[in-house]
Amino acid sequence: MFLLIFIVALLIAYFITHRIFVHRRTFNGTAKLYGKTVIVTGGNVGIGKATAAGIAMRGARVILACRSKQRGEEAVRDLIQETGNDGIIFMQLDLASLKSVRAFAENFLKSESRLDLLINNAGLASPGRTEDGLGMILGVNHIGPFLLTNLLLDRLKECAPSRVVNVSSYGHDVGTIDFDCITTHRRLALGSSDADLFKAYTHSKLCNVLFTHELAKRLEGTNVTSYSLHPGSVRSELGRDINEWFTRIIKAFVSKLWATDTVSGAQTTLYCALQEDIEHLSGRYFSDSQLVQVKPEARDDGISKKLWEISEKLSGMA
């Protein structure tokens, strides 16, 4: 009898947590994007590719901004065939290189007259350093998108109403910001174990939420809005560079039970990008296409301002 009760309790707990953390409602907005231009970073794989498909099917010109030319061009062919939209192109962007970010922005601004949506989707959980000496997770998940967004802000303002969408994670809730570590070591956390990389990843996702919060404040009155979000627990390539026992457990068990597919994972991104009448919620955080209140640290004006100022220095803007 006890065993039966235990099993039932486990099943109930599974379905409750699956509904909260994994299940994603489908975005059914009817917005048309003909004549609009959208950048999706990391748009060649995973959630990014699914997001790009959802955007392209609504008629937009879509720029897949990603590192690999081969994979980017393959994704372009796949997406054109899938969506019937031939206005999808690849432009090379390596967020681990500030030089590449600047080159991408310069190339984009010279070749494209519009920017209506910037979707900062790309992210990783890798060890090592960027070519600029930043921790890889700090550089790719925060400093690269921070610089990219700022370099493109004038074009976004010219094409307003426009939006910036930053793909964060529920993991931000356990993240912290250690400014001493960032300024001294140019990293979000020390150590290179799987646990250390996971910590740094959660810290970077908190950076995404704080960046969105501060960006919205600085954009008040411009008709450019910003949003951050949790896409859900998604089967993607995020953990491809974590090679120890943790990955084997994730692939063998967790991803099968607790993760959704990339199309479902793109739904909240599409909601933040396309849902009408959410401009008054600029700077806020969403999950499962719903507004979610974040912890005090993630909406603290002092912390977000300090992170912005440090990010300006690390990105070479200041």
Catalytic residues: 201
Q: How many CB atoms lie within 10 A of CB 275?
A: 18
CA 222 vs CA 153, 243, 253, 282: distances in Å: 10, 44, 47, 12
Angle at 263 (CA atoms; ends 257, 265), nearest 5 degrees? 60
Q: List the beta strands (DSSP E) in the chain.
A: 37-41, 61-66, 88-92, 117-120, 162-167, 224-230, 285-287, 290-292
In angstroms, the CA 150 to CA 143 distance is 11
In angstroms, the CA 184 to CA 188 distance is 10
In angstroms, the CA 162 to CA 156 distance is 6
Q: 292: burial class by Cβ within 10 Å (0-12, 13-18, 19+)? A: middle
